[in-house]
Chain A
Amino acid sequence: MAQMPSSDLTAHIEALKTHDCRSIVLCSGKGGVGKTTLTANLGIALAKLGHKTCVVDADYGLRNLDLLLGLESRIVFTAQEVISGSCRLGQALVKHKHETNLMLMPAGNPRMLDWFNPEHMRNLVTMLADSFDFILIDAPAGVEDGFKNAVAGANEAILVVNPEISSVRDADRVAGLLSSQGTFDLIQLVVNRVRPRMVEKLDMLSIEDVLDILAVPLLGVVQEDEQVIVSANLGEPLALGKSKSPAGIAYGNIARRIQGEEVPIPDINAKPEGFMNRLGDFLSTKII
């Protein structure tokens, strides 16, 4: 299917180095932990910081990145046509409505699952490397072929995990697979959908618990936020900053950390509202 010059295993890594581009895959193993939402928001946040950013939808079975970015009606060509040589790279890329530094490389139809392979992904990244500062690849759930394709094009990884027992177990498996691959310069962790009240009542794994178990360096923490669903309804990621929300602020902070800024990770503590919550705050006062 591929009609491009075949690249060897490291051509994309060289292209990334030459063009000073970072290609980051977002993966989790488990589905529903917020990979696609995080990809969309970090794409927006990095673009806002002035970086030319491309988000690549590598979830060919169940694509959704276009919807979360509000770009579903603007797709003409996809990665499928680019790889098969029936359109140019620039024809498939969709520019974001508000953040002109952000482009989406849409996923083709689910039949791509039958033929797309890691070499295709490496070729795609090689082509993108000279036009972008950041490439964010949204991996599908699972650790099968789709996952292997997605990680093949990256030199960094963000492991997305929820403080839940099954998510942590799956993330550990993914972390093992990533490090055994040996092609990653950096693997970092985002703990997503944290519920501070539950952590406080010791009914949810804390950030420390998760870090202790996974031993992957922490890049950021995002708390559960209803606004995420509202923003998905509208196709306007929270990182656009139209409304101030805890998750939107967290995404912005993560993007700043990605570009190398030192932004402290705040202690996730819920705001006091009413007596019970104030009592909760009193009980969670640090004494040692």
Chain B
Amino acid sequence: MTISELLNRLSGNKRTSANSACSRLRMVLAHDRSDLSPAMLDQMRLEIMEVVSKYLELDHTGSELSLETEERSTALVANLPIRRVRKLVR
């Protein structure tokens, strides 16, 4: 870390243009690499939630499915906040 980077962190000023470029690139490359359209991603989110909802009661407003990329690999990351576990009738 350099002194100017430290000053930037201390002042809480994290929104430098290079930082914006980095995060925008990560987002767009995850989509480029996987070749998944936003529509397909949303369809997938709904279907996954349907399956998971059989077992758990989910908070639908807070759920999100996103692509994350690190090195040259891409991961599908689901964030599904749980309200409560359903009592399953066996």
A residues with a Cβ closer than 8 A to B are 164-165, 168-169, 172-173, 175-176, 199-206, 209, 213, 215, 280, 282-288
Per the bound structure, the CA–CA distance linking A286 and B3 in Å amounts to 7
B2 and A168 form a contact (CB under 8 A): no
> Of A204, A215, A288, which one neighbours B18 at CB under 8 angstroms?
A204
Question: Smallest CB–CB gap between B34 and chain A, Å?
Answer: 11
Chain A hits for B26, CB < 8 A: 213
Chain A hits for B33, CB < 8 A: 172, 176
Per the bound structure, the CA–CA distance linking A286 and B2 in Å amounts to 4
Grouping DSSP codes into helix (H, G, I), strand (E, B) and loop, the B interface class, with mixed when no group exceeds half, is: helix
B: interface residue count bin: 20 to 34
- B21 sits at the interface (CB 8 A): yes
A213 and B22 form a contact (CB under 8 A): yes
- B83 sits at the interface (CB 8 A): no
- B40 sits at the interface (CB 8 A): no
> What does the 1/0 interface line of B7-41 toward A look like (CB < 8 Å)?
11000000011110110111011001100000000
With A201-B16, A204-B18, A215-B71 known, 13 other A-B pairs at CB within 8 A are A169-B32, A172-B32, A175-B72, A203-B17, A205-B18, A209-B18, A209-B21, A283-B2, A283-B4, A284-B4, A285-B2, A285-B3, A288-B1
Question: Smallest CB–CB gap between B52 and chain A, Å?
Answer: 32
Given the known A-B contacts A213-B22, A283-B2, A283-B4, are A202 and B17 also in contact in the complex, defined by CB atoms under 8 Å? Answer: yes
B4 and A200 form a contact (CB under 8 A): yes
A205 and B32 form a contact (CB under 8 A): no
A209 and B22 form a contact (CB under 8 A): yes
Chain A hits for B88, CB < 8 A: none
Chain A hits for B64, CB < 8 A: none
> What does the 1/0 interface line of B41-85 toward A look like (CB < 8 Å)?
000000000000000000000000000000110000000000000
Q: Which residue of A is nearest B33, CB measured?
A: A176
